[in-house]
Amino acid sequence: MFRKIFRISLKGKLLLYGLAVAILAALTNSQLHHQYYLNHPEIILNRPLHFLVSLAYLFVFCAPLFWYLGKRILRPIQKIVEADQKVALGLEEGKYLDSEAFPDNEIKEIVLSRNKGLKQLDWQQEELKLKNVKLTRINSTMHHMMKFLVSSHFDQPGLKKSVEILCSLVDARYGVALTYNERGEITAFASNLSAEDEQKIGRLPSGPGILGIKLKKGEVLNLEDQTKHPLFTGFPRHHPVLKSLLVVPIWVKDQYFGKIYLSDKKNGERFTAEDEELVVTFANSLALAAENNRLLKALQEAEELYRITVNTLPTGILVVSQDNQIILANQKLSEFTGDNPEKALGKSLEEVLGWYELSEGLHKFRKERKPYDFCQLGYSGEESSGKRDFLVFLSLLSYPEGEQEIVIVLEDITARLRLQKDQELLKEKLYHSEKLAALGRLLAGVAHELNNPLAVILGNSELLTLGDLDERVGKRIQTIIKAAERCKKIVANLLSFSRKTQPNKEQVNLNTVIEATLEFKNNELKLNNIDLVKELDEKLPDTLVDPTQFQQVLLNLLENAQHALLQNPREKTVKIKTYSQADKTFIQVADNGGGIPPENLNKVFEPFFTTKEVGKGTGLGLSVVHGIIEGHQGDMQVESKLGAGTTFT
């Protein structure tokens, strides 16, 4: 604060210093004279008066000196200080001083030197501004050029545009960019010449020459006059005559990728070090862009190969994030969901597949398994036409960041299991057919052997009944006749089973055959309190069958149903249903009896197998029925549940 208050100009300081010197000199002179007068008492002079006289003498002597210092030194210095203050504030007005207004001494030389320094500084600042503008333009241009090159994938237009821009940046009349493959063959050629000029010049001559020089990494060829170079071989016809030449190689890592040629700087001089630096920077940027382009292309090809591979796999592929969100799904998934797989991304498994159990399994798998573990699950999903079976493979992936993903592979094995089941059924049928054929041959022989003795027994027994017999003996003869009749029936069934007669087929409506058959059984079913329910398809198409044999099939099935219902204390019901699917006709005979034990289901079509009491069944009825159905190229299946009933289809 005190420094601001007592801040005094240079002129004021000199005045104060002069005044102090004058006072000090006057005091000194007064003191000396006072001492002198003490030694000479005869001289009488007042001491204060003597001080004032001394001071007046000094003022008369110093005043011209102060005037000279103020005008010739202090005032010019003050002008220089004020001008420098304006320079410090960035003001242009009054920055330069008129040297003629200053005295012709050292101060004038200072002013001249100052003005020269300021002009040099202004020139340097102007140069710096121009360079900054140029650098900004170069940076912006190269940035857009690199973006253009990357987006255009180094095609001919992209390179040509880059060469034109580069020529404008270094003031070159002509420019060429070449790129090579691994075999050294030119893959791209671009220049700033018009298409018409390029056509006139034609193909450049091959050979070593200047254009054939292979520069090392970091090496640059800068010629003031290329015609004086030892490798110069002349210009082709119609080619412009060139003088200065700048050649910069393009290296992508350790691969020689190409070259940039720039020729004829517009001012007629050699290309500068700044030009070299700019072109080298561009070549390095071009190499970086080329490498990025190569990596991008390789990545795109790898992604495309990966996408095609994943989408052509015969299995469904899903990748599930830690929060059970689907982050990848292949095309096969559409067969399981009926929707575009892309719509599954970001959704949970329950939303896409509806498999809550699988999601629970994934949660458990994450907890119990280690990274890169693998497991196999089985899962059955519902399909509109039945059940679909899947084999599910799980693989856990863990990343260093701690995140975990699960790769799910879904293999639809429905067709495979169905084929396996069909193969097993086919083997079983083949075995059963061979077994029945062998049994049929055996039974035919046995039946023929039994027919003759049975005829004798029946004939003689009937003859015995003609005479007068004791009542007790007559009853026994009737018992013999009944037993022989039963044996005869068994033999007849054996012959029927073994003969496998060819059906006499005709186009009939099976509903008509069923109605005709029920006329034989209606009364019997009513007598046994059995309700008959019919669900016959009115649009059932005609079928090629033997009506007589099909009546035999229906009678056997109704007989079995009736027998199963006799012991049923509940309401007794037999249901007959017909329907068609595709090109097949179906008949179902169902009862609500006691059902067949599971261990006997595979035996019901075997000859002589029966669950009836002894003497009430031969065990050949269903075998004969099965044979008739097979003779019509059909199939017969049985479903049964204990306590609920049995259904033959």
Question: How is 273-318 classified by DSSP, letter by letter?
Answer: HHHHHHHHHHHHHHHHHHHHHHHHHHHHHHHHHHHHHHHHSSSEEE
Q: How many CB atoms lie within 10 A of CB 30?
A: 19
| pLDDT band with cut points at 50, 70 and 90 for residue 385 | very low
pLDDT of res. 470: 75
CA triplet 411, 412, 414: central angle to 5 degrees? 145
Stretch(es) of the chain classified as CATH 3.30.565.10: 506-648
Stretch(es) of the chain classified as CATH 1.10.287.130: 419-499
Residue 45, pLDDT > 60, answer no
pLDDT of res. 347: 80
For domain 506-648, the CATH architecture is 2-Layer Sandwich (3.30)
Q: Which of 26-40, 265-279, 350-364 has the highest mean pLDDT?
A: 265-279
573 vs 503: which has the higher pLDDT:
573
Q: Which of 32-41, 99-108, 377-386, 577-586 has the highest mean pLDDT?
A: 577-586
For domain 419-499, the CATH architecture is Orthogonal Bundle (1.10)
Are 162 and 250 in contact, with CB atoms under 8 Å apart?
A: no
Residue 223, pLDDT > 80, answer yes
Per-residue pLDDT tens for 588-639? Answer: 988 888 888 887 777 777 766 666 654 455 556 677 777 788 877 788 888 8
Please state the length of the chain: 649
Across the range 150-171, mean pLDDT stands at: 72
pLDDT of res. 53: 59
Nearest to 72 by CA among 97, 106, 45, 39: 106
pLDDT of res. 15: 62
Helix, strand or coil for residue 97?
A: coil
Per-residue pLDDT tens for 49-106? Answer: 555 655 665 666 666 666 766 666 777 777 777 777 777 777 777 777 777 777 777 7
Of all residues in the chain, the percent with pLDDT exceeding 90 is: 0
Indicate the residue type of 509: N
Per-residue pLDDT tens for 549-601? Answer: 888 888 888 888 888 887 777 788 888 899 988 788 898 988 888 888 887 77
Nearest to 327 by CA among 318, 336, 314: 318
Q: Is 251 left (phi over 0), alpha (psi -120 to 50) or beta?
A: beta
> In Å, how far are 362, 390, 509, 613, 644 from 377, measured between CA atoms?
11, 8, 48, 47, 34
pLDDT of res. 226: 77
Per-residue pLDDT tens for 12-21? Answer: 655 666 666 6
Residue 6, pLDDT > 50, answer no
Kindly state which CATH superfamily the domain 153-299 is placed in. Answer: GAF domain (3.30.450.40)
Are 182 and 287 in contact, with CB atoms under 8 Å apart?
A: no
Per DSSP, helices labelled H in 345-470 are 349-352, 356-368, 414-464
Residue 34, pLDDT > 80, answer no
pLDDT of res. 1: 42
| pLDDT band with cut points at 50, 70 and 90 for residue 242 | confident
Out of 146-155, 262-271, 281-290, 401-410, pick the least confident: 146-155
Report d(CA 573, CA 419) in Å as an integer. 36
Out of 186-190, 465-469, 499-503, pick the least confident: 499-503
pLDDT of res. 383: 45
Residue 507, pLDDT > 80, answer yes
Across the range 404-431, mean pLDDT stands at: 76
Stretch(es) of the chain classified as CATH 3.30.450.40: 153-299
pTM summary value: 0.44
Average pLDDT, the chain: 73
Per-residue pLDDT tens for 437-466? Answer: 666 666 666 766 777 787 777 777 777 777
430 vs 308: which has the higher pLDDT:
308
Q: Which of 181-190, 272-281, 350-359 has the highest mean pLDDT?
A: 272-281
| pLDDT band with cut points at 50, 70 and 90 for residue 406 | confident
Per-residue pLDDT tens for 510-525? Answer: 888 888 888 777 778 8
162 exposure class (CB count in 10 Å sphere: 0-12, 13-18, 19+): buried
pLDDT of res. 2: 43
Residue 189, pLDDT > 80, answer no
Across the range 202-214, mean pLDDT stands at: 62
Across the range 519-545, mean pLDDT stands at: 84
* Beta carbons within 8 Å of 285's beta carbon, 6+ residues apart: 142, 146
Q: Which residues of 194-214 are buried (b: 16+ CB within 10 A; e: fewer)?
A: eeeeeeeeeebeeeeebbeee
Nearest to 242 by CA among 191, 195, 277: 191
Residue 39, pLDDT > 70, answer no
409 vs 469: which has the higher pLDDT:
409
pLDDT of res. 52: 64
396 vs 319: which has the higher pLDDT:
319
Measured in degrees and rounded to the nearest 5, phi and psi for residue 554 equal -65, -40
Across the range 233-253, mean pLDDT stands at: 75
Q: Which of 2-11, 423-432, 566-575 has the highest mean pLDDT?
A: 566-575
pLDDT of res. 384: 38
CATH number for the region 313-412 comes to 3.30.450.20
Are 263 and 243 in contact, with CB atoms under 8 Å apart?
A: yes
Helix, strand or coil for residue 543?
A: strand
